[in-house]
Amino acid sequence: MAAGRRVCVFPSPRELGPALARLVAEEAAAATAGGGRFTLGLSGGSLVQILARDLPAAAAAAAPSRWLLALCDERLVPAEHPESSGGAYAAQLLPRLPGPGPALLRVAPALPPAAAAADYEQQLRQAFPGQDVPVFDLLLLGLGPDGHTCSLFPGHPALQETEKLVVAVTDSPKPPPQRVTLTLPVLNAARAVAVVATGQAKGPVLKRILEGEEDEPLPAARVRPRSGRLLWLLDEAAAQGLSIPLERQDGS
């Protein structure tokens, strides 16, 4: 197993969710212990439902008012659209967290893609003053069956970006086509990254990422925090084809 990487396997998403919530709460408590803030990057998809279900109870003692939430990527659709990650978190998670709740940086979906990316990058720079690249306490990422994470897709030029914090994607192979996404320099600057993958359909790509040594690594395989921790949270269905050492968890 790669140095600094842990691969934890849960019986099902039902057990994985509380463990993910505890991870968030523990990282938040550590970051805010001295009166500081906790910075958390959120991805969309199934993570919204998992966090909305399991995080509120775990977060009660972790000072949510001192959290800064940001989106790891966003589809350029109105907030009320079902594909809007920011809209989903605002509707499903934030109202359930103990008040006063955290701040959430939002992408401006009405702007053209390049302008939306520039605007979001400016928000990040203002939120992380003095840092050339924002250092998040924790990033929560998902995984697509093609190996994409955030809106970084295989073979896309965005994978080569080294200067910008946020880039526009106008040709996403997965609808909707217009998006903005954090870049690899931001992902790899984080203090901790957790990648969540569940379901049998994720098995083949997980094997490529966690066991393979490919000349052109898939986007999720390029997530390698320089000085932070990398945690993979899987269910049994997703992990069943892996032959690497795994940490079996019961979720309790």
Structure pTM? 0.95
- Show the tokens assigned to 97: 């967290």
What value, to the nearest 5°, has the Cα angle with vertex 69 and ends 140 and 66? 120
Q: What is the DSSP string of 83-109?
A: T-HHHHHHHHTGGGSPSS--EE----T
Residue 219 in this model has a pLDDT that exceeds 90 = yes
Is the N-terminal amide bond of 176 cis, ω within 30° of 0? Answer: yes
- One of 3.40.50.1360, 3.30.2420.10, 3.40.50.720, 3.20.20.70 is the CATH number of 5-245, namely 3.40.50.1360
Per-residue pLDDT tens for 3-30?
Answer: 578 999 999 999 999 999 999 999 999 9
Predicted confidence (pLDDT) per residue in 71-124, tens digit: 999 999 999 999 999 999 999 999 999 878 899 999 999 999 999 999 999 999
Residue 71, H or E segment: strand 67-71
Number of alpha carbons in the 13 Å side-chain half-sphere of residue 184: 20
Tokens matching residue 100:
């006063």
- Indicate if the pLDDT at residue 2 is higher than 70: no
Instruction: Locate all alpha helices (DSSP H) within 60-183, ordered by sequence.
Output: 85-92, 113-127
Hey, where are the domains in the chain? Answer: 5-245
